[in-house]
Amino acid sequence: MTAKLFEPLALGPLELPNRIVVAPMCQYSASGGSADADWHTQHLMTLAMSGAGLIVVEATGVEPRGRITHGCLGLYNEANEAALARALAAARRVAPKGTRFGIQLAHAGRKASAQLPWQGGQPLEPEADAWTTVAPSAIAFGDGWPDPRALDDKGLATVRGAFVQAARRAAQIGFDAVELHAAHGYLLHEFLSPVSNRRNDAHGGTAEGRMRFPLSVVEAVRAALPAGIPLGLRITGSDWVEGGLTPADAVQFAAACKAKGAAFVCVSSGGIAANVTVPFAPNYQVPFAERVRKETGMTTRAVGLIAQPEQAEAIVRDGKADQVALARSLLDNPRWPWHAAEKLGVDLDYPPQYLRVKAKLWPGAKLARPPEARGGGVIGPSEIQLDGKTTSCVR
Ligand SMILES: Cc1cc2nc3c(=O)[nH]c(=O)nc-3n(C[C@H](O)[C@H](O)[C@H](O)COP(=O)(O)O)c2cc1C
């Protein structure tokens, strides 16, 4: 039986070699929105070599005030475009054949103008070059956070235009897929959620009203992208807040996005308000993906506390999602897909420079993997064999 995790998948018009996705991960290492020549290049090259079929570049602000922090990537000017193009080209050079690259386009809304996480992640003080944030309604994210300015019609058009322009830039520098960030409490999610959207105009109130602006962005970005580039979204399976978004809302929004030409969704959750308790557990967001997939027929990605090869394989094999995204598992171990292939009995292509670490060529592989990754038990030197001959592991 072959592993479903390593079977190809069509993401709309885009063919992916397998179902493992590198989830977008902010690096907070950009300057003026531009990728850092060293950090982003090594980061993306490392993940590119991982063997994951799709690498989604971190949340990238479509305008300066849409960045979470001063260190967030942006794609709103030519310098941003050139810096990201360089990092992407380097990553492509080392990626296995067929690896695809996507980018997550984002606007942080009322959660923008924040400190880097390792500096506290709190709202920037005025002397730290803080900026005025925008949102559907002038309601702060939480205690100590500033009131954002509610966007008017002109402001909505500006933000939508910025998404379109950034999508054009993404296509121009060669991204294969575009994902809109409509989760984690950022601007598009802020419009969708009754927690943050208290408008009483056409962009608030009913679910239809709250979806209007995000859907207009989906429509405009879809129209701006070449047909060969699939557009998808990261959406919210639950706000985990009384009166907030629920899995039924995720289904409704995904279906509406599909009708506007979106090809895929990644179903995440949380982030709309401070001090919310999220019941973290393995696969905790998978039921949301499963429901969205079942009820919309959309290509769906599951994410969140997926760390074991068998766990990932079961999600796609059992039809709970079409693909899985891993964030921390891949930061922790960028060779995760290699080891998953080994565990699931799949022969993956390695870069020739690293070929000698393949388990069938390297006796040390048995020593290197934790017992649970190789099926349990402590191994002794006698078990380490190459071509039928016992190989001493201490030279
Ligand atoms: C360092 C880091 C940065 C992240 N940045 C983003 C981001 O840019 N966009 C996003 O949608 N999620 C972001 N996330 C969330 C991940 O994409 C993912 O949804 C979450 O970590 C759960 O998956 P995991 O359990 O595999 O880590 C980030 C997570 C981490 C650990």
- Whether the per-residue pLDDT at 387 is higher than 70: the answer is no
Prediction pTM value: 0.94
Torsion of Cα atoms, 327 then 333 then 338 then 339, to 10°: -110
Indicate the SS3 state at residue 58. Answer: strand
What CA–CA distance (Å, rounded) separates 225 from 79? 21
DSSP-derived secondary structure letter, 293: H
The pLDDT value given to residue 392: 32
What CA–CA distance (Å, rounded) separates 10 from 247? 25
**Domain ranges across the chain:** 4-353, 359-395
What CA–CA distance (Å, rounded) separates 187 from 110? 7
**β-sheet bridge partners, residue 268:** 236
| Amino acid sitting at position 240 | W
| Amino acid sitting at position 148 | P
The pLDDT value given to residue 357: 96
186 is catalytic: yes
Question: Closest ligand 1 atom, CA of 330?
Answer: 26
- Whether the per-residue pLDDT at 376 is higher than 80: the answer is no
What CA–CA distance (Å, rounded) separates 167 from 162? 8
For 108, list phi and psi in degrees, rounded to 5: -80, -10
The percent of residues in the chain predicted with pLDDT above 70, rounded, is 94
The pLDDT value given to residue 374: 54
**β-sheet bridge partners, residue 150:** 135
Residue 268 Cα to ligand 1 midpoint, Å, equals 10
CATH 2.170.16.10 fits domain 4-353: no
Ligand 1 contact via 329 beta carbon (within 6 Å): yes
Ligand 1 contact via 302 beta carbon (within 6 Å): no
Residue 325 Cα to ligand 1 midpoint, Å, equals 9
Residue 154 Cα to ligand 1 midpoint, Å, equals 32
pLDDT band at 369 (very low <50, low <70, confident <90, very high): confident
Q: pLDDT tens digits for 74-118? A: 999 999 999 999 999 999 999 999 999 999 999 999 999 999 999
Ligand 1 contact via 181 beta carbon (within 6 Å): yes
Indicate the SS3 state at residue 123. Answer: strand
DSSP-derived secondary structure letter, 64: G
Q: pLDDT tens digits for 262-320? A: 999 999 999 999 989 999 999 999 999 999 999 999 999 999 999 999 999 999 999 99
- Whether the per-residue pLDDT at 393 is higher than 70: the answer is no
As a whole number, mean pLDDT of residues 49-71 equals 98
